[in-house]
Amino acid sequence: MKFKRIFFLFSVLCALFSVSISAFADTVEMRDGRELKGIVVEDYHDRLTFSTPDGEVQVMKSDIRELSYDTEEDNLVRLGERARDRNDYASSYAYYEKALKINPDSKSAKEGLVYIQGVMFRVKEAKKEEDVKRRADYERYQAMGPEERTKEEIVTGEMDDLKAKAGFSLKVIANNIAVAEVVPGSPAYTAGLKKGDYLVALWGKLTGYMSLGDAVATLLKPGSIEIKATIERGIDVAIARRGFFVSGLKEMIGAVFSMEFDGLTVSDLKEGGAADLAGLKARDLVVAIDGKLTRYMPLKDAIRLIRKKRNGSVNLRIRRDTTIWRQS
């Protein structure tokens, strides 16, 4: 009788899981005729990371015939991104606006709409300034001829422009776009950027599929002086020595965590505590603890992982949204 009851509960859970996947899922149609259902969790230039009921799989884009998103909101956001990429700002604005009507809390639609608004209101003034800058840049290579200018030289010129306007430069580290230098007192410095930070997203779009030149061009795109970026960095937080009054995380490292929609999140900080002094901030997303990813880690396991540290420090890999006000 007990076995039958357990089997019944297991069947109900499986049925609920199947309904949830089919009710909100992405569909990948492969060139060999197979069809995959799941959620696209990472989108790179050559592949997708696809979460299925059986776990995560890597799908090469060359093997995909078609990718469709089952929610209307996702479709509209991606249509907005495509229109934005081809500089069709009016259409992009309309797509983002429709997505927000469906889901007023959509982060991607909100950031996309703010970006387009900035472009549409400032594009004329920015275009004049950009034309002057472009003429100055190209004068250095006037005698060489366009066919002799290398891609590296163009990227170098744009990198100098980025450093002058925003106060930082970029480089590639282990296939990631990283901050190479931050000028003290610059907009990037004020926004909290540090040397070695990974730049994982711009305006909600992942940089994993971008080349260094693409990332710099996106940051210098005419029309908007406001840059919405997501950075990733490792922070070493000292562990307080255990004692009678040291039991909870707030006493151990001066931070409290919660599991929210985006993942493991810093919900509270003790002023002057170890986490605060190390540079952790409320609302930081913790993506790894001592190198262990937290994406599918229950909250209690994440807390246990930190609590079992006896001394020294714990390394928290965090992601943080920041705004950089580029100089015009």
pLDDT at residue 272, as a whole number: 93
pLDDT at site 191: 94
Given pLDDT bands bounded at 50, 70 and 90, which one contains residue 94?
confident
pLDDT band at residue 318 using 50, 70 and 90 as cut-offs: very high
Residue 258 has pLDDT above 60, yes or no: yes
Q: Tokens for 124?
A: 């004329």
d(CA 139, CA 254): 55
Answer with the residue of higher pLDDT: 44 or 25.
44
**Least confident piece of the model among 6-20, 205-219, 260-274, 303-317:** 6-20
> According to the per-residue pLDDT averaged within each range, which of 4-13, 73-82, 272-281 is highest?
272-281
- Condensed to tens digits (0 to 9), the pLDDT of residues 200-213 reads 999 888 888 888 88
More confident residue, 31 or 241: 31
pLDDT tens digits for range 39-59: 776 777 788 887 777 778 888
Query: Which residues make Cβ contacts (< 8 Å) with residue 188, sequence separation at least 6?
Result: 166, 167, 168, 179, 182, 324
- pLDDT number for residue 57: 86
In this prediction, residue 244 carries a pLDDT of 40
Q: How confident is the model at residue 108 (pLDDT cuts 50, 70, 90)?
A: confident
pLDDT tens digit string along 140-178? 554 444 444 455 666 778 888 899 999 999 999 988 999
Q: How do residues 217-240 score in pLDDT, each as one tens digit?
A: 888 887 678 889 999 999 999 987
How far apart (Å, rounded) are the C-alpha atoms in residues 27 and 35? 7
CA dist., res. 170 & res. 227, Å (int)? 15
**Given this model, what pLDDT does residue 119 score?**
79
Q: What is the pLDDT, as a whole number, of residue 135? A: 61
Q: Could you tell me the pLDDT band of residue 257, with boundaries at 50, 70 and 90?
A: very high
Pairwise CA distance, residues 328 & 225, whole Å: 7
The one-letter amino acid at 100:
L
**22 pLDDT band (50/70/90 cuts)?**
very low
pLDDT of residue 113: 86
- Residue 314 reports pLDDT greater than 90: yes
Retrieve residue 175's tokens: 């296939």
3-class SS letters over the chain: CHHHHHHHHHHHHHHHHHHHHHHCCEEEEECCCCEEEEEEEEECCCEEEEEECCEEEEEEHHHEEEEEECCHHHHHHHHHHHHHHCCCHHHHHHHHHHHHHHCCCCHHHHHHHHHHHHHHHHHHHHHHHHHHHHHHHHHCCCCCCHHHCCHHHHHHHHHHHHHHHHCEEEEEECCEEEEEEECCCCHHHHCCCCCCCEEEEECCEECCCCCHHHHHHHHCCCCCCEEEEEEEEEEEEECCCCECCECCHHHHCCEEEEEECCEEEEEEECCCCHHHHHCCCCCCEEEEECCEECCCCCHHHHHHHHHCCCCCEEEEEEEEEEEEECCC
Mean residue pLDDT across the chain: 80
The structure tokens 């009507």 sit at 101
Contact call for residues 53 and 31 (beta carbons, < 8 A): no
pLDDT of residue 132: 61
pLDDT of 13 strictly over 50: no
Domains along the chain with CATH numbers: 2-70 (2.30.30.100), 71-148 (no CATH), 150-222 (2.30.42.10), 233-323 (2.30.42.10)
